[in-house]
Amino acid sequence: GAPPEPAALNAAQPDPRLRAHLQQVLASLPEDDGATTPAQLSQAMANGADILLLDIRSPGEVQAKGFIAWDRQLRIPIEELVARRAELPEDKATPIVTYCGSGYRCLLVMMMLRSYGYLDVNNLVGGLTGWDAAGYPIAIEP
């Protein structure tokens, strides 16, 4: 016979304030979607830009693969970002470039930081893998 009629689901109703906030965050993305190429980051670093690099990889990834050497850098694994939010800069205009291993997680974190009110957040296209493939140096922990 025919299967029983499915029960009606309770459709979630998003908070209108949250929905409006997320629409504002998405609308504020620059035309390049916040993408920074390895060449652009390298040039900014060579010019002494006041950029904060946010490495969101796990300590094991950093140990195994190395990192981008830069004076202003935070290492906060993506799974700890919410709990360690207080370590982020107080100044919401601080230029931040997020990076991970391949570029996927840092895109998510870029969106998180923008939702927290940070105004100048970009993600490194290709992450550390893209940086390495472009021929830029990788530092290794001693």
Question: Do residues 110 and 95 touch, judged by C-beta distance below 8 A?
Answer: no
Beta pairing class for 35-36 and 73-75? unpaired
Enter the DSSP assignment of 8.
P
The reply to whether 106 belongs to the active site is no
As a whole number of angstroms, the distance between CA 124 and CA 133 comes to: 13
As a whole number of angstroms, the distance between CA 97 and CA 77 comes to: 14
Q: Which residue in 41, 51, 97, 100 is the catalytic one?
A: 100
Q: Hey, which residues are catalytic here?
A: 100
